[in-house]
């Protein structure tokens, strides 16, 4: 594997000059996730931590909840590329017999319910209906100065980003600031699924004492993943969306955004951030 | 409508102080796109230019190609929110009788083909098979200095971004630097679908003489949208992915990235950029 970056030649143009030079690119490849042999979704991802990605995805979609729910995860042998070699782009997750397989259109889970129109409230209700964990009840606290130190630590650990400028990062921290895991991906939802998949594999779900940090913006989808993993604190370097804030308020998640320099905005449950 | 931004109160924390203050948020709401009454996809988007978004999406997925293919686009009345009011989050596109409706799992179109494993090459082949336009044959040229002026013009036109920090922008330019249209969205693919939908409504497809500029990174998906709309030049402010470069090379699209200050990298077909 190790297909995280690749090289190419590009023309570098400035006002005065044009030179051909080598550039490092972040790798993007499709990955198909199958459950019990049936294709569920295709995501464009950066190869690496694929098994974490698949399990994090299935956990945050409400399909699996604990390690015993998964019997095996394997790359499909049949998925050969043009040269006949395995592409390592198809993963099959075999569920335990008592775990119901997901509906075909899994990605619609949290955006719409059949009983209601498609709207933000329906999306939020769907997450609250499906999630097994009460993020609102978590009593964890984190110091503001611990939070403001996190983005620099994420960036230092994002080795690929520094070479390509092309990857999102996600990390889990303990409330005392200990960094537990960092993952990178071309898709920010994939980076989050990878760290949640890591937690799943290490029996740390629900993430009742963790801070989930993301290098970009906080969307509905990322907040939903927090709720599904039972993580009470989501911190983002950039802006939150309206629906991310609404879901955080409804789920009792502490949503921190614009976490830059020595300041931040706290949009919900500020009682968990101490000064 | 006009639901592009909303207000909330947040705690603004610094090392020394904590104050509650109003913040402006970019609105995120789900939108379901139906074709002939059948749900096709749900996308999280910023309301506004929804009809362009739906048509741009269907064009770049290969379902429609010209204005006559669409008989009508309407908000569904049935999609009532919790208060009984129309959510304006469900759009139904009625196709002309001779236009085949899309397959159910439309989003898998470009990532995998049944004859081959899931891999980058299969994804690229799928785009080349479906696209009606030969971007490789376009003879348009653009001056490097015209390109370097574009990001500032996009930012000036991104009125919402300056207030929320939360929206991606996409714009179309003529080769002489005339800005044709700008759209913003919480999802960068949606911003691109909106400008392509604008071009579709104004009979400008294929976009044989246009530069498509995006405020962020260049992914496979955005390059695919360029190929499907027949746009020969894609310019991105940030990094490209490996698969974006491969698709651009194979489709003869000029891919410009890291377009910042007075410099840029050109990854494919640099002959279209003059100095």
Q: Residue A162 sits in which domain range?
A: 130-274
- Kindly state whether residue B48 falls inside one of the protein's structural domains: no
Active-site residue, selected from the candidate residues A8, A76, A116, A226 = A116
Q: Is B263 on the interface with A (CB under 8 A)?
A: yes
- Kindly state whether residue B45 falls inside one of the protein's structural domains: no
- Kindly state whether residue B59 falls inside one of the protein's structural domains: no
Determine the 3-state secondary structure of B38 from DSSP: strand
Q: What is the reported pLDDT for B109?
A: 61
| CB-closest option in B26, B144, B240 to A241 | B26
Give the closest-approach CA distance of A147 to chain B in angstroms: 11
Q: What is the reported pLDDT for A45?
A: 94
Q: Is the ipTM value over 0.85, yes or no?
A: yes
- Its pTM surpasses 0.90: yes
- In chain A, which among 46-75 make CB contacts under 8 A with chain B? none
Could you confirm whether A226 is annotated as catalytic?
no
Q: What is the reported pLDDT for B204?
A: 97
Return the HEC string of chain A. CCCCEEEEEEEEECCCCEEEEEEEEECCEEEEEEECCEEEEEEEECCCCHHHHHHHHHHHCCCCCCHHHEEEEEECCCCECCCCCECCCEEEEEECCCCCCCCCCHHHCCCCCCCCCCCHHHHHHHHHHHCCCCHHHCCCCEEHHHHHHHHHHHHHHCHHHHHHCCCEEEEEECCCCCEEEEEEECCHHHHHHHHHHHHHHCCCCCCCCCEEEECCCECHHHHHHHHHHCCCEEEECCCEEHHHHHHHHHHCCEEEEEEECCEEEEEECHHHEEC
With contact defined as beta carbons under 8 Å apart, do A183 and A198 qualify?
Answer: yes
Give the closest-approach CA distance of A131 to chain B in angstroms: 19
Q: Do B262 and A87 touch (CB under 8 A)?
A: no
Tokens 């991802």 identify what position?
Answer: A45
Catalytic machinery residues of B: 116
CATH of residue A234: 3.40.140.10
- Kindly state whether residue A98 falls inside one of the protein's structural domains: no
- Kindly state whether residue A60 falls inside one of the protein's structural domains: no
What's the burial of B68, exposed, middle or buried (CB within 10 Å: 0-12/13-18/19+)? exposed
The chain B residue lying nearest A255, using CA atoms, is: B10
Give the closest-approach CA distance of B246 to chain A in angstroms: 10
Q: Is A29 on the interface with B (CB under 8 A)?
A: yes
Which pair of tokens denotes residue B63?
């379902």
Q: Is A14 on the interface with B (CB under 8 A)?
A: yes
- In chain B, which among 196-215 make CB contacts under 8 A with chain A? none
Q: A161, A166, A190, A238: best mutation site toward chain B, by most B Cβ within 10 Å?
A: A166
Q: A29, A117, A168: best mutation site toward chain B, by most B Cβ within 10 Å?
A: A117
Q: Do A118 and B14 touch (CB under 8 A)?
A: no
Q: What is the reported pLDDT for A126?
A: 83
| CB-closest option in B108, B116, B270 to A11 | B270
Overall number of domains in chain A: 1
- In chain B, which among 229-258 make CB contacts under 8 A with chain A? 238-245, 258
- List per-residue pLDDT tens for chain A, 275 residues long: 458 899 999 999 998 899 999 999 999 999 989 999 988 888 999 999 999 999 999 999 999 999 999 999 999 876 666 666 778 899 999 999 999 998 766 666 676 555 456 788 888 888 888 888 999 999 999 999 999 999 999 999 987 666 777 899 999 999 999 999 999 999 999 999 999 999 999 999 999 999 999 999 999 999 999 999 999 999 999 999 999 999 999 999 999 999 999 999 999 999 999 98
- In chain B, which among 81-140 make CB contacts under 8 A with chain A? 81-82, 86-87, 89-90, 105, 107-108, 111-112, 116-123
Q: A239, A245, A259, A264: best mutation site toward chain B, by most B Cβ within 10 Å?
A: A239
| CB-closest option in B31, B186, B265 to A241 | B186
Contacts of A39 in chain B (CB under 8 A): 108
The chain B residue lying nearest A244, using CA atoms, is: B28
Q: What is the reported pLDDT for B128?
A: 80
Contacts of A28 in chain B (CB under 8 A): 120, 219-220, 241-244
- Kindly state whether residue A224 falls inside one of the protein's structural domains: yes
- Kindly state whether residue B118 falls inside one of the protein's structural domains: no
Q: What is the reported pLDDT for A78?
A: 61
Low-confidence ranges of chain B (pLDDT < 70): 1-2, 78-84, 104-117, 160-162
- Kindly state whether residue B196 falls inside one of the protein's structural domains: yes
The pLDDT tens digits for A187-221 are 999 999 999 999 999 999 999 999 999 999 999 99
Give the closest-approach CA distance of B92 to chain A in angstroms: 13
Q: What is the reported pLDDT for A76?
A: 86
């Amino acid at each position: 594997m190790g297909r995280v970056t690749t090289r190419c030649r590009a023309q570098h143009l400035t006002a005065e000059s044009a030179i051909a030079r080598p550039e490092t690119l972040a790798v993007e490849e499709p990955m198909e996730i199958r459950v019990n042999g049936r294709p569920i979704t295709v995501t464009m991802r950066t190869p690496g931590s694929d098994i974490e990605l698949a399990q994090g995805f299935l956990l945050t979609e409400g399909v699996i909840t604990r390690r015993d729910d998964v019997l095996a995860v394997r790359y499909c042998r049949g998925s050969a590329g043009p040269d006949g070699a395995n592409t390592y782009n198809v993963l099959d997750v075999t569920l335990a017999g008592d775990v119901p397989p997901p509906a075909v259109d899994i990605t619609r889970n949290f955006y719409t319910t059949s009983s209601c129109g498609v709207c933000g409230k329906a999306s939020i209700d769907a997450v609250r209906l499906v999630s097994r964990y009460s993020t609102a009840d978590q009593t964890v606290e984190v110091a503001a100065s611990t939070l403001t130190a996190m983005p620099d630590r994420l960036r230092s650990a994002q080795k690929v980003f520094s070479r390509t400028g092309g990857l999102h990062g996600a990390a889990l921290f303990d409330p005392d600031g200990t960094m537990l895991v960092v993952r990178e991906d071309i898709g920010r939802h994939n980076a989050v699924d990878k760290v949640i998949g890591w937690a799943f594999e290490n029996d740390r779900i629900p993430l009742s004492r963790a801070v989930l940090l993301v290098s970009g913006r906080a969307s509905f989808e990322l907040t939903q993943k927090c709720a599904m993993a039972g993580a009470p604190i989501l911190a983002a370097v950039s802006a939150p969306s309206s629906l991310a804030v609404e879901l955080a308020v409804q789920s009792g998640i502490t949503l921190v955004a614009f976490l830059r320099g020595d300041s931040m905005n706290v949009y919900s449950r500020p009682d968990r951030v101490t000064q």
